[in-house]
Structure 1
Amino acid sequence: MMISMAKLFNYHAWATDKLLSYIETEVPDSFSAEIPSVFPSIEETFKHQYEVDCLWYGRMNKNYSIKGEHSSSPQDYRKAFQELHQEIESFIAESPDLNRRVWYSTSTGEGFMNNEEELLQHLVNHGTYHRGNISAMLRQQGYPGCSTDYIYYLREMEG
């Protein structure tokens, strides 16, 4: 049995929100602290993830454009991600099979074509990678972090 793209994307939205919520309530000072890592701070990592989520969704939905700037707090990022992810969840629900081919060009101008499901899979995988970066950044600052593994999502959804 294959995992539906709607469920996999819902996991991505859940995990991003869970991590931001943890930072907001438990360790807010960690958000903008400078850390030697892939990005200079947790905030910059979330900024990158948000921009990339917007980029890939915009490639699939040509009518989409990024909604203004968000300031630098976990609460603002949670709100921005929630709004974006609700829109993507609606897009997935309204798409019959996510097999529509999407042509796009990279930041270097190279052209590629993939179907919507492949692009969404990439978006989810990209988010998982950067949540891992953020977990490491939290540990570098002496915080335990919170688990955003897929199995914890499944357990929470079942409970």
Structure 2
Amino acid sequence: MAELNPWQAHFTQLARYNVWATERLLQAIEPVSELDYRRDLRLFFKSIHGTLNHLLVGEHMLWQRRFARGESPMLALDMEAEPERDRLAQALKGGAKVWEALIAEWPAERFDGKLQYTTTRGQAMSLPFAATLAHVFNHGTHHRGQITAALTFLGQPAPVLDLVYFLQQNP
């Protein structure tokens, strides 16, 4: 296997963290009752289920397609892409695992370029490729944080998802 360029090494680490954090969060959600899982907890996407669906739409159905294939699907950020809880969890895990392979395919110069896409409102956009890829992983961290706060509110244990813990466990 060829050595990764610095951009690939950095984003591969973030992709692996994303898989780790997604899996830990989904494990923590398993004991949550169906009622609490779908309950409006005043999160931006209302419920744990709504927030997980948003992660599926945003991270995998929008951004992954923009980065991998240059496609810009016109999807609502609050759509329910997967109504069934177990299938949603599997889709999130599977989608998170795709990022590492994508990152490995990209030459170093791609990270210094631009990502051209169309927003969900139909506006043409050109943003720095690497910074926008960082946004994808940061976005996931943001919404996982909302869900851990919801778990705490529900009296459930919340997983520790800090990047530093991932780094300690995966040197």
The amino acid that maps onto 1:132 is: G
1:27, distance to aligned residue in structure 2 (A): 2.6
TM (norm. structure 1) is 0.83
- The one-character-per-residue Cα deviations of 1:103-137 (angstroms, maximum 9, x if unpaired) are 11222222221243222200011111111111111
Question: How many pairs are equivalent?
Answer: 154
What is the percentage of aligned positions where both structures have the same residue?
Answer: 29
Q: Which residue of 1 aligns with 2:26?
A: 20
Contact kept? 2:112, 2:128, Cα under 8 Å? yes
In structure 1, C-alpha distance between the alignment counterparts of 2:136 and 2:54, rounded to whole Å? 12
Contact kept? 1:42, 1:134, Cα under 8 Å? yes
- The one-character-per-residue Cα deviations of 1:54-106 (angstroms, maximum 9, x if unpaired) are 2111111227789xx53421x32231122212222111011122334221122
The amino acid that maps onto 1:125 is: N
Stretches (4+) displaced over 4 A? 63-66
1:157, distance to aligned residue in structure 2 (A): 1.5
Q: Secondary structure at the match of 2:170?
A: helix
The amino acid that maps onto 2:68 is: N
TM (norm. structure 2) is 0.78
Matched, 1:56 2:56: no
Cα-Cα RMSD:
2.4
* Contiguous gaps of at least 5 residues in structure 1: none
Q: Secondary structure at the match of 2:161?
A: coil
Contact kept? 2:70, 2:116, Cα under 8 Å? no
Matched, 1:82 2:89: no
Structure with higher RCO (Cα < 8 A, 6+ apart): 1
* Contiguous gaps of at least 5 residues in structure 2: 1-5, 76-80
In structure 2, C-alpha distance between the alignment counterparts of 1:79 and 1:134, rounded to whole Å? 17
